[in-house]
Amino acid sequence: MKRTSSRSKSSNPAAKPATGPVALLVATRKGAFLLKSDRNRRTWNLSDPIFLGHIVHHAVQDPREPKTILMAARTGHLGPTIFRSHDSGKTWKEAKQPPAFPKAPEGKKGQVVDHTFWLTPGHASEKGTWYAGTSPQGLFRSEDGGATWSSVKGLNEHPEYSQWMGAVENGTPDGPKLHSVLVDPRDAKHLYVAMSSGGVFESLDAGANWKPLVAGLEVVESFDPKNLWFHDPHCMRFAGGNPDRLYQQNHCGIYRLDRPGETWKRIGKSMPKSVGDVGFPMTVHPRDQDTLWVLPMDGSGVWPRTSPGGKPSIFISRNGGKSWKRQTKGLPARNAWWTIKRQAMCSDAHDPVGLYFGTTSGEVWASRKEGGRWECIARHLPEIYAVEPAHSSR
């Protein structure tokens, strides 16, 4: 696949700060919830559970049709599916044809979707288009608002699929995943995806062809980085206002990629050595390409997947990863043995930017001042898998 010429920087189409209430879509191990704020983001109201008992991996608002929300869910007896709401979460309909791999030929073993893990709205010009990433690794596309889904064959049926992804049993503890589906806001055909395991891939033709982008990324010691399925990106984001810059929170550190370059640079080595730069989530400032936030976790030994030392800390960089500052005001000072999953940290578009994250112990934390001070806005929820911002019509 040929690489196109360098794209120039462009301003974020949502550069104008948002105003008014914020709603948070909170996906948990036992259902989903809506958290709605007042206009000043000072007080929050929690909804009743939605699909209580379902494992909800992701819930995302459609920015093109703000009353539309898609939700990726799974139950033990019904299996994986997608639910759709067109009235801001008041009522829901199940997809007629959820993401599913094609049936394997007679005598051969095929892939079976265990759960849909990630949802991404398509390009602003493609009303009704969505992408879904699954476990095991698969990319699916809907062109009718999530009612029916088709396989992106250029990836899912690529001749080197098994060499890229590796065996299912070699994936992450709860199954290998395709996540971080990014659509270039300037070009509907320009896509990025990340796979755990499998690395980062880019397509310039809406998924017909793919190219790996793993140069510069490290893998676990003693493994060969040339083998794609040893690569384990945790979360990947466009820099705010500049889709020619990507940030990545990886199993082996924090990275940045400036296009048209193809080599990732590790920017997490300037984090405190006692904390390290391993974690799951990452979020970015919506209008500033140099500002991003991470929450490190304990990646030592057997990977406890807790806050280092039981002391959770958000770290901010305002210079593209050259330096980092700890933001802990309001957070527990000790004995907080939780962490944040890769989809469970986000930002709104206000000024100052609001930051939000959900913990594995069922708490939702918020900052109205870009991390300067934190407060807990919801407690005692099930384990939180994802937190996404949404426009509130209240």
Q: What is the pLDDT of residues 302-342, one digit of tens each?
A: 778 899 999 999 999 999 999 999 999 999 999 999 999 99
Asked if the structure places residue 16 within a domain, the reply is no
327 burial (CB, 10 Å; 0-12 / 13-18 / 19+) is: buried
d(C-alpha 154, C-alpha 161), whole Å? 10
**Residue whose entry in the numeric block shows the structure tokens 């370059």:** 261
| Residue 109 pLDDT | 81
CATH code where residue 293 lies: 2.130.10.10
| Residue 8 pLDDT | 37
**Residue whose entry in the numeric block shows the structure tokens 């996540």:** 179
CB 206 within 8 A of CB 150: no
Decide if pLDDT at 14 tops 60.
Answer: no
Most distant pair of Cα atoms in the chain: their distance: 60
Entry pTM:
0.93
Q: What is the DSSP letter of 386?
A: E
Q: What is the dihedral of CA 144, 145, 150, 151, to 10 degrees?
A: 140
Asked if the structure places residue 347 within a domain, the reply is yes
Model pLDDT for residues 114-149, shown as the tens digit of each residue: 999 999 999 999 999 999 999 999 999 999 999 999
Q: How many domains does the chain have?
A: 1
Decide if pLDDT at 393 tops 60.
Answer: no
Average pLDDT over residues 265-271: 97
Asked if the structure places residue 170 within a domain, the reply is yes
Entry field: residues in the chain: 394
Report in angstroms the alpha-carbon separations of 394 from 38, 67, 240. Answer: 8, 12, 27
d(C-alpha 386, C-alpha 345), whole Å? 7
Asked if the structure places residue 332 within a domain, the reply is yes
Domain carrying residue 288: 22-100+112-391
140: which residues sit within 8 A by CB, 6+ positions away? 99, 116, 131, 132, 133, 134, 149, 150, 151, 152
Which of these, 172, 175, 136, lies nearest to 156 by C-alpha position? 136
Number of Cβ atoms within 10 Å of the Cβ of 35: 23
Model pLDDT for residues 67-108, shown as the tens digit of each residue: 999 999 998 777 999 999 999 999 999 999 999 999 888 877
Tokens of 317: 């960089």
d(C-alpha 183, C-alpha 177), whole Å? 18
Model pLDDT for residues 57-75, shown as the tens digit of each residue: 999 999 999 999 999 999 8
Q: Percent of the chain scored above 90 by pLDDT?
A: 83
Tokens of 56: 């909800």
